[in-house]
Structure 1
Amino acid sequence: MKPVRALISFVLLPLLSAALSAQHPAAAVSQWDTVTLSFPGPDLSETAEVNPFADVRLQVTFTHADASYTIPGFYAADGNAAESGADTGNVWQVRFTPDHTGPWTWSAAMHIGPDAVLLPADFPHLKAHHLDHNSGAFEVTPSSATGRDFRAHGRLSVDPATGYFHFASTGRTWIKAGADSPENFLGYRDFDDTYRHSETFREGENRPNASLHTYAPHLADWREGDPTWHGDKGKSIIGALNYLAGTGMNAVYFLTLNIDGDGKDVWPYRTHTDRDRFDCSRLDQWEIVFQHMERLGLAMHVVTQETENERLLDGGFTGRERRLYYRELIARFGHHLGLIWNLGEENGPANFSPHGQTTEQQKAMADYLAATDPYGHPIIIHTHSTSSGKDEVTAPLLGHPTLDGLSFQVDEPTRVHGELLDWRQRARAAGHPWLITMDEIGQWHTGAVPDADDPTHDSLRYQALWGSLMAGASGVEWYFGARYAHNDLSAEDWRSRDNLWRQTRHALDFFTHLPVARMEPADNLTPRSDDYVLAYPGFTYAIYLPDATAEPRLDLGRDGVSYSIHWFNPRAGGNLQSGPLTTVSATGEVTLGAAPADPDQDWVVLVRRR
């Protein structure tokens, strides 16, 4: 049993969420803030004979005139486990983010019985547990959040008509950009009871550090007022997130289960051998980090397993173990606004991992997540790196209604643009358009190398970054290869790729000039075979040029409409620039003039209807 630390008043959580006790339910909260309801239930422990994670079912229904959500609850030990380290107590909690202003009501019910959380409330053998306060109300006022904070924008969703992420409440398109590494981001020294369960690793692949992550280089990035736990724990991981958000990135990819995988240091359970007993204090500490990510505008790209352990739970099926795992993740973290569920890294059989999940097992995971997550967060799946691997494993998933898209992996950067165009078209032809995010560039031993090894990242910028975004990708994340410092398991300092983040931010900045949800890849509109084109025909065109040694040409049609011409520097960013030619009329295939400078370098041309 974990030691139960002295209870310490934690002043930060009330700042991060509106904590409403069931005894005092009336309160005013802001739209998109987290409402936390706490309920007294049976006095149990993480190891009690009555399993508090499986045998006690709390659900709360939140109702507004225009919406209703039924939210699963979770066992919270003493209700302050992040600070106390408690593994015993009688507190159950529900976390909810209201999406409408005005009055809300709620009603709660608790039932007890074997595997009650997986059964409907009216199941014959479940016993209702009396709650002294099982209903209440609160008022939601408009959010005062600003800037990158997700509370200023709402819940991230998928626009199936365009293949992009967007904020459902505003319709604003959102393009993902961030860190794919370290995948074992949560294998962090300051989380309670976190350890590496084995030092056996596959020959020739990424190796973790000798100890857990410390993120020591980012300790100086922690700021006064930022969250901690147990005194001053957590400062370096919070500082790392501060740095990454400061570069303009907006997402972090991380595993929540790598038992028997590469890092062997991340799981939600008490120990690596448990499958239905969770660690309350560690998960509450994860929540502190996730709350900070939300305020920074960093989306949680939650990768729920990896290729080595995709059959760890229920032999790959969605049985009791997997359903308990997914339900716990949803109950504890599903309230977050910027959250993307990833069914698994390199999911499905491969020559290096032949005993992968089947197509039916993949579909069952997606179906269960979609049915259990009350918020409808995006659900994607990570692909294999080769074309043949995608054809064999991913193609059978085309058209499946609960799968929103692909977390794309490509082993050769030169193939990124073409493969993305291909899979985007395949999904549309199957009748269920997918969003596709470029999340792992190969090869596995190289990926995105440190600035010290490739200061300019010219090829990566051309082939992977702009090659994917100009093919209609809904985002890019950077994987760190095994043979370089700060790799996919050992990365401690995100500053090792500072210039890569900067160039990625430049791409995001340029895309703010585009009506991207209306644009389509249209490489056929230029005579060059090595450039990329996005077009909203008759209105907006963007052309990425690997060089401007020859003046670019573009087919604008023949309606005589006048267009403005601007140039953007993808290496240095900044404002749009003008070249010698600033306007052009639509008279067929027209010349767009010379670049403002450095014609031997890459440029982006923006052509807009005047």
Structure 2
Amino acid sequence: MKIHPLPRIFFSVSKCIVLPALSVFFLVSSCNVTKTKTGQTSEISGPVSTGESSVDSNNVISNQIYKQYHTVEIDFEGPETSEDAEDNPFLNYRLDVVFTSGETTYNIRGFYAADGNASETSADKGNIWRVRFTPDLLGDWTYSAKLYRKNNIAVQGDILEADKVQILNNKGAFKVTESDREGVDFRAKGRLVASQGYYKFQNTDMYWLKVGANSPENLLGYVDFDDTYRMASSSKEGEASTTDEIHSYPTHLKDWKVGDPIWKDGKGKSLIGALNYLASTGMNSVYFLTMNILGDGKDVWPYAKPDEFTRFDVSKLEQWEIVFKHMQSKGILLHVVLQETENETMLDNGDTGLLRKLYLNELIARFGHHLALNWNLGEENGPADWSPLGQNDVQRKAMAKYIKETDPYNHPVLLHTHSHDPLRSDILDSIVGYKYVDGLSLQQDERKETAEVIERWRTNAKEAGHEWLITMDEIGKWFQGAVLDSEDPTHESLRKYVLWGTLLSGGAGVEWYFGAKHPHNDLNSEDWRQRDRLWQISNHARVFFEENLPYWRMQPEHNLINIKEAYCFRAEGEVYALFLPEVKAATIDLSGESGEFELFWFDPLNGGELQKGSVDTVTGGAVQALGNPPAVVGEAHNDWVCLLKKI
């Protein structure tokens, strides 16, 4: 039997039908649209029912129909309590729900949901306990739920001495049919996992390449979320300056569309609009912190109070969930960054004890059901001169292990690095090959070294027996990053050394960090349009890779090209992708090949279709000249991408 570990994964119900004489609520609709209070429509992921739910003589709920990869959300009536109850509902209760289909079993842990509609009511009390589950298999499913009560039971593995709290109708059944989604919506293809150094849709042959926004890191420091504010403004060397104002994203209000989600009679529109805009550019990933207490922004935390680490803000977290669901429907991966270098030791002094386990449990439970998500162990993880109280090797390994063993969906776990060696390598040398870390969220200060660093750590990981997925997520220098289009219209160094250097060296993706000392920086950016050109350039690279390359089977061989700072990525005997910073007298060594290759050119700045140049084909067995590309149509530049395909 295939058993998946007990995690914290739950399902939220925004609209529910109370079945007569039952203590269970179900999100039921005859279609995938529900009405908000303002009359706007918003997409939900709930079940589709062809008729009324039925309850048999054993109080088993049945006749529910869900779509594959859509979230199943079930609410149970349990004891009446509150966020600040003396008997802590987050720590002293544990809802376990077992979902079974054939020989596949998922053990999912539920969470306290106040009144079941806290995103709208801001309730901090109630008797609703919720579970979320995303089924991957078609066919019949059953579930069985149990609620336990014992001091600290939420972070203890032993339930034998716990009291069982009665919840009626704790068993049910439902059917899963094929997903009705298409395009970038992750419900069309399923869950992303780490495989052979890349993101891959689980149980398919489809791979996925990441391009997106690394800033603002405090994305969730947003005025429309309940109880969200800046604890203190700051203006320190080494970080972006802040004021008392938090994010409102006013310029993106126009990007919200009728039918998009909102909460509380119109809140959330500007953030939803910002995500709409980013998705429209082809970007598919956003990096954000879920806790920056003691960190740079000091405006994001999941707790009811920022100095009480065992009580969570139910309504705020439900509002986060509304945003996360929308991101998934727009094809945006949730890059969840769990802590900052300044607060690595805030919980349990860096250990994975009661407080850290509880924090991780709640996030996994409430948000782990999402299909495209990776857990980042923390920004700049490990001690540094400016933050000497970082986690040590034993502590970061314990944290990674706990996440992998608690998350039932096997989401990738990444480690965000320092920006240079030996500070970076001292940490990575001790964790490379560790099976509970799936890869690196790389920070790199010197742009020209990007390709070499990625290739080196991919090789080190492979030699250590556990391949790493490496994404280039924070390019330096820390004060600069990716500046505005108005400051750097063609983003030449980012395009050459970082974007194409990463992807043609085996990197699994790129995110753009905005730096600390430029307008619209890593903490105060309100308008993603300020870097519209950068998103376009990034999307050109993503489209080229997806349409032309089996990149997950390719290897970097930069020395095959005669030009300095050129890159070569190849699947031997099949295809070569070359980045040439200039094309004059460019050659490639094909002495190890046989047969003919057709030659195409791609414009990395202006994008477009593949084009023909002065040479149509080259033949293996010798060093071959690549000829000249076509004339540039659009903004002038010297760099080109050359594609060789075996005929």
Common fold: TM-score over 0.5? yes
The code of the aligned residue for 1:63 comes to T
- Which range is displaced more, 57-66 or 277-286? 57-66
Is 1:36 aligned with 2:73?
yes
Give the Cα–Cα distance (whole angstroms) in 1 for the partners of residues 469 and 138 of structure 2: 30
Q: What is the alpha-carbon distance in structure 2 between the residues aligned to residue 530 and residue 589 of structure 1?
A: 18
Residue 171 of structure 1 and its aligned partner are, at CA, apart by 2.4
CA separation in 1, counterparts of 2:610 and 2:508?
Answer: 23
Give the corresponding residue for 2:25.
Answer: none
- Residue 208 of structure 1 is matched in structure 2 by 242
- Residue number among 33, 41, 45 corresponding to 1:17 in the alignment: 45
1:396 matched residue in structure 2:
430
1:57 is the counterpart of 2:94: yes
Map of 1:155-174 to 2, 5 A cutoff? 155-159=191-195, 162-174=196-208
The aligned counterpart of 2:609 is 575
State the shift of 1:210 in Å.
3.5
Q: How does 1:479-498 map to 2 (within 5 A)?
A: 479-498=513-532
Instruction: Give the share of equivalent positions with the same residue, in percent.
Output: 50
171, 185, 202: which one aligns with 1:149: 185
Q: Does 1:108 align with 2:141?
A: no
> TM-score by structure 2 length?
0.90
Distance 1:23 1:480, change over 3 A: farther
Instruction: Tell me the residue number matched to 1:288.
Output: 322
Answering whether residue 372 of structure 2 is matched by residue 338 of structure 1, we say yes
Q: Write out per-residue CA displacement over residues 60-110 of structure 1, whole angstroms, 9 at most, x where no aligned residue.
A: 111112521111100000000000110000000000110011111111111
Q: CA deviation at 1:197?
A: 1.2
Secondary structure in 1 matching 2:328: helix
Q: Which residue of 1 aligns with 2:7?
A: none
Corresponding pairs, count: 600
Matching residue of 1:4: none
Give the drift of 1:355.
1.1
Distance, in Å, in 1 between the alignment partners of 2:553 and 2:616 is 24
**Residue of structure 2 aligned with 1:123, choices 160, 167, 171:** 160
Does 2:509 align with 1:475? yes
CA distance in 2, matches of 1:334, 1:122: 23
Task: Quote the Cα distance in structure 2 between the aligned partners of 1:85 and 1:133.
Answer: 27
Q: Distance in 2 between matches of 1:201 and 1:110?
A: 47
Matched AA of 2:572 = P
Q: Are 2:454 and 2:505, in contact at CA under 8 Å, matched by a contact in 1? A: yes
- The Cα of 1:548 is off from its aligned counterpart by 1.2
Distance in structure 1 (CA, Å) of the matches to 2:637 and 2:132: 54
- What is the aligned counterpart of 1:405 among 423, 431, 439? 439
**In structure 2, how many angstroms separate the alpha carbons of the residues matched to 1:222 and 1:509?**
26
User: How many Å separate the matches in 1 of 2:439 and 2:362?
Assistant: 23
The Cα of 1:424 is off from its aligned counterpart by: 1.1
From the superposition, tell whether residues 243 and 338 of structure 1 become closer, same or farther in structure 2 (CA, over 3 Å): same
Matches within 5 A, 1:120-519: 120=157, 122-124=159-161, 126-159=162-195, 162-512=196-546, 513-519=548-554
AA matched with 2:502: S
Shift of 1:556: 2.1
Q: What's 2:26 paired with?
A: none
1:301 maps to a residue whose letter is: H
What SS does structure 1 have at the residue aligned with 2:35? coil
- Measure the CA separation in 2 of the matches of 1:369 and 1:282: 23
After superposition, give the CA deviation of every residue in 1:157-188 in whole Å (9 maximum; x if it has no partner). Answer: 010xx211110132211111100000000000
Which residue identity lines up with residue 544 of structure 1 in the other structure? Answer: F
3-state SS, counterpart of residue 415 of structure 2: strand
Q: Secondary structure at the match of 1:544?
A: strand
Q: Which amino acid in the other structure matches residue 541 of structure 1?
A: Y
Q: Answer yes or no: is the 8 Å Cα contact 2:374–2:411 preserved in 1.
A: yes
Cα separation, 1, equivalents of 2:392 and 2:167: 43
Deviation digits for residues 532-591 of structure 1 (CA, Å, limit 9, x no counterpart):
0001011100100011122x2122235541111000000011100001211122122112
CA distance in 1, matches of 2:582, 2:376: 36
CA contact under 8 A between 1:148 and 1:296: conserved in structure 2?
yes
The equivalent residue for 2:575 is 540
The code of the aligned residue for 1:31 comes to Q
Instruction: Return closer, same or farther for 1:58/1:25 CA change in 2, 3 Å cut-off.
Output: farther
Amino acid at match of 1:532: Y
**Deviation of residue 354 (structure 1)?**
1.0
Q: Distance in 1 between matches of 2:167 and 2:235?
A: 49
Give unmatched runs, 5+ long, in structure 2: 1-13, 17-33, 54-58
Q: Which residue of 2 aligns with 1:562?
A: 596
Tell me the CA shift for residue 201 of structure 1. 4.4
- RMSD over aligned Cα atoms: 1.7
State the alpha-carbon separation in 1 of the partners of residues 376 and 158 from structure 2: 29
Alpha-carbon distance in 2 for matches of 1:478, 1:559? 37
Distance 1:282 1:205, change over 3 A: same
Letter in 2 for 1:144: D
Amino acid at match of 1:176: K
Distance in 2, matches of 1:66 and 1:113, equals 31
Find the residue that maps to 1:387 and give its secondary structure: coil
Unpaired segments ≥5 residues, structure 1: 1-6
Aligned equivalent of 1:607? 644
Look up the equivalent residue of 1:473 and give its one-letter code: G
- Aligned partners of 1:515 and 1:391: how far apart in 2? 30
Q: Tell me the alpha carbon deviations over residues 189-241 of structure 1, each in whole angstroms, 9 at most, x when there is no partner.
A: 00001111122442352023431100000000000000000101000000000
What is the identity, as a one-letter code, of the residue corresponding to 2:560?
A: L
Letter matched to residue 100 of structure 2: T
Question: Does the Cα contact within 8 Å between 2:61 and 2:173 map onto a contact in 1?
Answer: no
CA distance, structure 1, for counterparts of residue 340 and residue 428 of structure 2: 16
**Amino acid of the structure 2 residue aligned with 1:206:** A
Greater shift after overlay, 111-120 or 47-56?
A: 111-120
Distance 1:316 1:219 in 2: 40
Provide the rounded CA distance (Å) in 1 between the counterparts of 2:260 and 2:619.
54
Aligned partner of 2:186: which letter? F
Distance 2:70 2:631 in 1: 48
**Range with bigger deviation, 311-320 or 423-432:** 423-432
Per-residue CA deviation, residues 23-50 of structure 1 (Å, 9 max, x unaligned), is 8553101000000010111100000011
**Maintained 8 Å contact 2:68/2:138:** yes
Distance between the aligned counterparts of 2:355 and 2:594, measured in 1? 64
Query: Which of 518-527 and 283-292 deviates more?
Result: 518-527
- Aligned AA for 1:11? K
Q: Which residue of 1 aligns with 2:19?
A: none
Structure 2 distance, partners of 1:175, 1:185, is: 22
